[in-house]
Structure 1
Amino acid sequence: MVDGDVPERMQAAAFDEFGGPEVITPRILPVPEIADDEVLLKVWSAGVGVWDALEREGALVPEGAAFPIVPGAEGAGTVAAVGGQVTDVAVGDLVYVYGRRRPKGGFYAEYAATKAQYVAKLPSGVPVEHAGAMPANALTALSGLDVLGLPAGEWVLIFGASGGQGHLAVQLAKRQGLSVIAVASRAEGVALVTRLGADLSVDGHGDVVEVLARIRDVAPDGVGGILAMAGGETLDRLTEALRDGGVLAYPNGVQPVPRERPGVTVRAYNGETGPERLRRLNELIEAGPFEVNVAEKFPLGRAAEAHRRLQTSYPGRLLLTVT
């Protein structure tokens, strides 16, 4: 089924060569056609992440993609058309997508084609205007919590808690019944994670000895797991808060890679998606209001500027507003 208003061509941000932010330019391109197992999304908003920069640089290009390449791994909007095999969503549904395989282009466009298995209806509790910046980080945070596998009531330390993945991990961990120590960035980050429900919020730029002392005050027996969204000397020191047998999990791509130490298991992970993972994420989100903190919004025509902003520090996420 197809929405009768779907045009033949669309506005997009794309590049014809790999390089810096300047290679992304506004374009007019054909609206992608969909197969029987695909959905055409009328994009409202798209998240801007480091994975998009890697795609732009040629390091993380979806298999089958060809120039001009439309980047963008995640987005939200309304279903404009569905293939003949698609039954879980219908034209007009408000949905979100994290599409790791997207040979027909990403979400920096008015329309995007994606496999139906990556599409989920937007749950209540997520602000529609911010939904495009949620899927990749929320699914990756959920994967990290699964790797830790901590029982309800256990202490988890989230390092980089005010970042794009971290602030969503704080909320998902609380909904799993975990006690959360959030190590954030500066006063602004500490305020964000405190508002989101962290049991202890500390500034990772402070004295690490004082930070460890505050952690031991609330978790004298140590924490059961650390979810690390960044690496470095401070993280390596904070592993002292892990009790023997604890697990440190980090998403692939974190640099420097967290150090191993005796008595601690270090595991890397990727964000996983699919119907079952999307169902679980929606159940957790619908447990209450879910905040996607957007640091800055950019119109589609300023995608290159958004990529330059990626190279700076900010709490939460960056967002392209498309429709």
Structure 2
Amino acid sequence: MTLPATYKAAIYDQPGTISTKVVDLDLPEPGVGEVLVNLTHSGVCRSDLAIMTNSWQTFPRPTLPGQVGGHEGVGVVVKLGPWTESSDVKIGDRVGIKWLASACGNCEPCQAGADAICFKQKISGYYTPGTFQQYVLAPARYVTPIPDGLASDAAAPMLCAGVTVYSALRRSKAQAGQWVVISGAGGGLGHLAVQLASRGLGLRVVGVDAGSKEALVRESGAEHFVDLAQFKDDSTHDKIVEHVRSLADGLGAHAALVCTDSNAAYAQALRFLRFNGTLVCVGMPEGRSVPIASAYPAVMVLNQLTITGSAVGTRMDAIETLRFAARGAVRSHFRVEKLDALTDVFREMHEGTLQGRVVLDLQ
């Protein structure tokens, strides 16, 4: 196979603003333990928007000009570097690139099966070249195999959005037949969470989002939908809490996932829960976040509540999520765009008008 000398990539040319630029880059050579992947598709995630605009105060360093973003890439291995024999990855294999470009495998979190919080992690699209490009280097041991029968464009959003909400649902410890409230249920994360909860794990779902997203949320498997616009004057959140709890047997939900970056959603979510309930924090508010409302010791003790965070997922979570997708239990609602449309996609995302996901066709 003859490989090109250069290829197309989209860079953040003015970090801190919504701006990308398509440029030509020199084709890299895989190093020790690496493979070269010819990417055909990449999902676009709200995390990419936050990295490009330097909106997450929790990230230690600002994004540099020239950074190639993206972390939901699918492509074909076209070249192997030295010492990749033990990885079982072969030329021609279809693989995925995730939020974590690599984890060390040796630190305490990795050894505990929590590679998502590896102490030496490298994040794809943040100080490590991401997937908004036609070719990328990746550790052979950390790429994710794509199941046969799952289209590459459909697989891309599963590598971050899918695995993130699957991992979060598992951390909620909700069992089949129990209630889960999903805030931001019509977003890129949320509509996948609704599907995995209802069709994959047998949970009963209350979806919360803007009224314009009701059709998508119900189509994804939600039993009930709550339109935020109906509670826009509810400054204390009492009315929406009472309504949501009434939908879940009058007692509240066994679990709640916040899949949006809204501080208001976090102010409501803990109160959606019944006794022994679990709140899973997924969405990361941009700028200055506020504490979770109602998380008083007495409330936590008397109701035996749990608050937990969920950061992406493990390699096994990714494999299991893709298996759900290959079986048709979860399907991303997405549209396909070309690389040069990326800036417009980010603007749409920033304005809150984007439903579902966007996948870039990199070919």
- Do they superpose with TM above 0.5? yes
Aligned equivalent of 1:301, options 319, 340, 353: 340
Q: Which residue of 2 aligns with 1:96?
A: 96
> What percent of counterpart residues are identical?
26
Map of 2:30 onto structure 1 = 34
Q: Which residue identity does 1:168 align to in structure 2?
A: L
2:325 equivalent to 1:291? no
Aligned counterpart in structure 1 of residue 145 of structure 2, from 121, 143, 161: 121
Structure 1 residues 242 and 124 mapped into 2: Cα distance closer, same or farther (>3 Å)? farther
Q: Do residues 178 (structure 1) and 219 (structure 2) align? A: no
Distance 2:252 2:148 in 1: 36
TM-superposition CA deviations, 1:230-279 (whole Å, max 9, x none)? 334455345433112211111261355532241333222211232x2223
Question: Aligned partners of 1:248 and 1:167: how far apart in 2?
Answer: 18
Partner of 2:314: 273
- Report the Cα distance in structure 1 between the residues aligned to 2:141 and 2:211, rounded to whole angstroms: 39
Q: What does residue 292 of structure 2 align with? A: 258
Preserved CA contact (<8 Å) 1:252 1:269: no
- Contact kept in structure 1, 2:180 and 2:253, CA below 8 Å: yes
Counting only pairs closer than 5 Å after superposition, residues 151-190 of structure 1 correspond to structure 2 as 151-174=175-198, 175-187=200-212, 189-190=213-214
* Separation in structure 2 between the aligned mates of residue 214 and residue 252 of structure 1, nearest angstrom: 20
The Cα of 1:229 is off from its aligned counterpart by 1.4
- Change in 2 beyond 3 A, CA 1:75/1:256: farther
TM-score by length of 2: 0.77
Whether the aligned pair in 1 keeps the contact of 2:269 and 2:279 (CA below 8 Å) is no
- Give the Å deviation of 1:289: 4.4
Say whether 1:247 aligns with 2:278.
Answer: yes
Q: 1:20 is matched by which residue type in structure 2?
A: T
Deviations along 1:129-155, whole A, 9 cap, x unmatched?
333233111121122112211222221
8 Å Cα contact 2:167-2:312 kept in structure 1: yes
> SS of 1:311's equivalent?
helix
User: What is the identity, as a one-letter code, of the residue corresponding to 1:298?
Assistant: E
**Cα shift at 1:178:** 1.6
**CA distance 1:17–1:137, change in 2 (3 Å):** same
Gaps of 5+ in 2: 101-121, 232-236
| Alignment check: 8 A CA contact 2:161 2:192 kept | yes
Matched, 1:8 2:39: no
In the other structure, the counterpart of 2:52 is 56
Aligned length: 315
Partner of 1:85: 84
Amino acid of the structure 1 residue aligned with 2:94 = L
Q: Does 1:73 align with 2:98?
A: no
Distance 1:256 1:39 in 2: 42
Q: Distance in 2 between matches of 1:26 and 1:245?
A: 50
Deviation (angstroms), 1:126:
4.4
Sort the Cα spacing of 1:58 and 1:184 in 2 relative to 1 into closer, same or farther, 3 A: closer
2:252 and 2:241 map into 1 onto residues whose CA distance is: 13
Q: Amino acid of the residue matched to residue 142 of structure 1?
A: Y
Q: 1:286 to 1:11 in 2, by over 3 A?
A: closer
Question: Aligned to 1:226, which of 252, 256, 280?
Answer: 256
Q: 1:62 and 1:79 mapped to 2: Cα distance?
A: 32
